[in-house]
């Protein structure tokens, strides 16, 4: 689509790129140009199936309100992963996850996209289905690591990492065996 823009659109993307003070993924001494910014913004839009921007959208002010904590508990049908949402962020929230790992592991950089954050219900969002569809049910005692990232108008905010250790599953309640008493007659 970059090749089909007008001269006015090229100039707008170049001007917007000059306002960005970053050199992400570029060699030392190279600045972000209009085509790089156009590709970044519109690839984010395409990733979510949204229409591209012919002119650069304004950079949104992402809220610094954190989502979380991530909570895991043993539900009726197995483990439940719930995310606390004190305030619903604007735009879309992408959820990334890592395979269940050792509880001693504190960091993981192999996060994969698992879906968009569903709508909250009562300040909580259940993400069990999102996570289990990609990685299966996490075993008891393992650490689940996810990250969320807000996207608005093609711009993306910072990744926010959350983790929780899956609790031990409680088995079916068993009744104590009855003791046979013998009467001494």
At residue 4, the pLDDT reads: 92
| Alpha-carbon distances of 37 from 2, 12, 24, 60, 181, rounded to whole Å | 11, 11, 11, 15, 82
The SS3 assignment for 138 reads coil
At residue 178, the pLDDT reads: 42
At residue 26, the pLDDT reads: 56
At residue 170, the pLDDT reads: 60
Can you read off the two tokens belonging to residue 163? 């983790």
What structural domains does the chain harbor?
2-47 (no CATH), 70-165 (2.60.40)
| Host H or E run for residue 13 | helix 7-19
Pairing of strands 143-152, 112-116: unpaired
Burial 98-132 (b: 16+ CB within 10 A, else e): bebbeeeeeebeebeebbebeebeeeebebbebbb
Phi, psi of 3 (to 5 degrees): -70, -15
pTM higher than the cut 0.95: no
For 26-154, list the strands marked E by DSSP: 70-75, 78-84, 92-97, 112-116, 124-126, 143-152
């Amino acid at each position: 689509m970059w090749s089909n823009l007008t001269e006015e659109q090229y100039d707008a993307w170049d001007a917007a790129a000059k306002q960005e003070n970053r050199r992400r993924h570029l060699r030392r001494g190279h600045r972000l140009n209009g085509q790089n910014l156009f590709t970044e913004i519109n690839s984010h839009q395409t990733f979510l199936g949204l229409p591209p921007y012919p002119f650069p959208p304004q950079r949104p002010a992402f809220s610094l309100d954190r989502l979380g904590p991530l909570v895991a508990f043993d539900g009726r049908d197995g483990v439940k992963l719930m995310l606390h949402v004190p305030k619903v962020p604007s735009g879309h929230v992408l959820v990334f996850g890592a395979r269940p790992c050792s509880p001693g592991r504190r960091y993981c950089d192999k996060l994969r996209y698992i879906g968009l954050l569903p709508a909250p219900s009562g300040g909580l969002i259940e993400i069990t289905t999102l996570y289990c569809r990609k990685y299966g049910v996490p075993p008891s005692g393992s650490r689940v690591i996810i990250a969320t990232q807000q996207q608005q108008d093609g711009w993306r905010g910072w990744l926010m990492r959350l983790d929780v250790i899956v609790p031990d599953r409680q088995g079916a309640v068993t009744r104590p065996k009855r003791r046979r008493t013998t009467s001494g007659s």
